[in-house]
Amino acid sequence: MPLIDTLSRSGAFGPGDIEWLHLLTNEWQIIADTGYCDILLWVPEAVLDGSHHLLSQPLESDTGFLCLAQIRPSTTHTVFHTDRVGQQLSAGLLERAVASWNSHTPKGTDDEHTIKDIILDTEFIPLIRNGRPVALLSVHRENLGTRKRQQAERAYRDVAHHLLQMVSRGAWPEFSAPVGTAHGNPRVSDGLLMLDTNGSVLYASPNALSIYKRLGFSGDMVGESLLHLTRSLLPAGEKADETLPLVLTGRMPWRAEIKAKRQNVTFRAIPLRQFSRLGEERYGALLLCRDVTELRRRELEMMSKDATIREIHHRVKNNLQTVSALLRLQSRRMNSVEAKEGLEQAMRRVSTIAMVHEALSQGLTQEVNFDDLIGRQFNLAAELASPDQHVNTRIVGSFGKLPSQIATPLALVINEIVANAVEHGLAGQTGEVTLSCSHDYKPSGEHIMVVSIADNGVGLTEETKMMLESGAPSSGLGTQIVMTLVSSELGGSIHWSSVKPHGTLVTIEVLLSG
């Protein structure tokens, strides 16, 4: 069950608590990656059972905790190879967890705990909002003894320590910060910089140095103003994002992007704050950066392909409309009634295909809003079949969006059946043709669309019905086209039947997905 749903059921949390915890679990990958640690989110079991008062009163020493979320680092190996979500906190750690909750302070374990030959350091961090704990984090790292840590590891662990302190006070993540996994969102492994209050660089990770080298800077970044350094690398006259100064000085938790030397780089700032008598006071910032040049190139390529495909559909539509117009001109020169009718039917079929390409030329996907398309096509097919005849048309149900490989043959099939219903079913009389669509799922999970076209005309004789379903040459070109499209293009089936008191019903089953 999603975290929000689990917490909402308890009814124990105040305004914004659940949303903030959800925001934290969206952002805590940064802590896991910089702290080289696994992190688990715990909530007292009694709170989830509806004991509202536990959030404002000390816990009993035997109060159990349930794990609701877990994150693993991507910068080192995990210490938990099994998913802990839904499990209870072990008895050996329970005392420290309760002590951390009741004292509102972080608590480490007195003794080292071992899991699968790995010695762990465990620390509990209470999450305080509005003066009361709302959850508990447990931070688990492998104990490496007295091994001397490299500069990068020390800097990363300092970052994690700063962020955990802010998390404990409910000061991070901030609701004003952009959320989500947008394309190009920088990660810890992409590049990390530590800034002081003035925006000068205190530390730059090797990947961050590589990014700036590709931008044209090869010196030592430490001590440099990141804003001034970055601006000096931008092309002359380049108008940078107006948020760039606030991001590159770490003043606001925003994102920005620059382009220089044919390189695209995104930045994300996380202001670091400490609590003072003046409130939350900024004392530095963490800045993540990422080279998104290849990503932006692929996005541009995809946009270009989409535009090309839309242009192709547009030109195909224009060409088909030209063919339709030529057929119309040719039909007017025909003296034979049979030849004239044949050309008019061909013109109608070409126009139907053109309408599908017109719909495809207006969208970004190869899907057609079939309800919009068939709404126009259905009425047009009835009018073209018999211009001097009054026929009412009615649509029941919704087709939804259909892929082009389904939309084109289905539109042609409906066009042929409607024309046949007007010309032969109603046979020059006033009547009604109804188009219906419904969706169903077979026990095997296959998505079936059932399309039916009904008229209140003269109906079918048994002989005519057998001839239609056999697809014999004597059944006519339109029927043969329908049978071929339904079986080969739609992978479906078609059935003719009579309806009472009189009329014909054509039912088509189309398999949309397996």
What is the SS3 assignment for 73-109? CCCCCCCCCCCCCCCECCHHHHHHHHHHHHHCCCEEC
pLDDT-based confidence at residue 3 (cuts at 50, 70, 90): confident
Q: What is the pLDDT of residue 511?
A: 84
- Residues 409 and 487 reside in one and the same domain: yes
The reply to whether 301 falls in a domain is yes
Work out the pLDDT band at 361, boundaries 50, 70, 90: low
What is the per-residue pLDDT across 21-31, written as a single tens digit (0 to 9) for each? 999 999 999 99
Q: End of a domain among 169, 201, 218?
A: 169
Range of the domain at 225: 192-291
Q: Is residue 182 part of a domain?
A: no
Number of domains in the chain: 4
Is the pLDDT at 117 greater than 70, yes or no?
no
Q: What is the pLDDT of residues 455-503, one digit of tens each?
A: 888 777 777 777 776 655 555 677 777 888 888 878 888 888 888 878 8
> Is residue 243, in this structure, part of any structural domain at all?
yes
DSSP state of 235: P
Most confident of 81-95, 167-181, 437-451: 81-95
The mean predicted confidence, pLDDT, of the chain is 83
- pLDDT (0 to 100) of residue 374: 80
**Half-sphere exposure of residue 394: CA atoms within 13 angstroms, side-chain side:** 9
**Domain annotation covers residue 146:** yes
Range scoring the smallest mean pLDDT among 404-413, 423-432, 437-446, 502-511: 423-432
Q: Which amino acid is at 260?
A: A
pLDDT in the model for residue 54: 58
Q: Is residue 249 part of a domain?
A: yes
Asked which of 193-202, 377-386, 426-435 is least confident by mean pLDDT, the reply is 377-386
Query: Which regions of 80-185 does DSSP assign to beta strands (E)?
Result: 107-108, 113-115, 118-129, 132-142
More confident position, 303 or 331: 331
Q: State yes or no: pLDDT of 179 exceeds 70.
A: no
Inside any domain, residue 239: yes
Reported pTM: 0.64
Do residue 354 and residue 375 come from a single domain? no
pLDDT at 102: 92
Please say if the pLDDT value at position 4 is more than 80: no
- Range from 112-116, 231-235, 383-387, 388-392 carrying the lowest mean pLDDT: 112-116
Neighbours of 235 (CB within 10 A): 8
Tell me: do 211 and 253 sit in the same domain: yes
